[in-house]
Amino acid sequence: MIGTDEFAPGLLGRRCWLELATGERITLPTERWRSEPEPGDEVLLRKCTGPTLDIGCGPGRLTAALLERGVPALGTDVSPVAVRLARAAGAA
């Protein structure tokens, strides 16, 4: 998948799904990808007490949340759309 941007529509707020081998489609919760951290995310964020590398950061919401808390963080993603959104959100 290197060099593809299959999740770009979801990152931009459009409907996105995964198709299973059985042919069943599972709708992805794309609205969460750009939302504020939720309670489950907070559990993870509290465990990040030192420099953190967020591999596959998507739109950077968790990376930005760490930076806002003063935790050094760097996000990386193969999606150009995700990188653009992460930078716009204040992620490094």
pLDDT at 64: 95
Q: Is the dihedral of CA 30, 86, 41, 74 positive or negative?
A: positive
Inside any domain, residue 45 = yes
DSSP type of residue 84: H
The tally of domains found in the chain comes to 1
List pLDDT tens digits, range 43-65.
999 999 999 999 999 999 999 99
Q: What pTM did the predictor assign?
A: 0.80
CATH number at residue 53: 3.40.50.150
β strands within the chain, DSSP E? 17-19, 25-27, 52-55, 73-76
Inside any domain, residue 30 = yes
* Domain assignment of residue 83, given as a range: 8-88
Inside any domain, residue 3 = no
Inside any domain, residue 32 = yes
Residue 13 pLDDT class (50, 70, 90 cuts): confident
Inside any domain, residue 26 = yes
Inside any domain, residue 1 = no
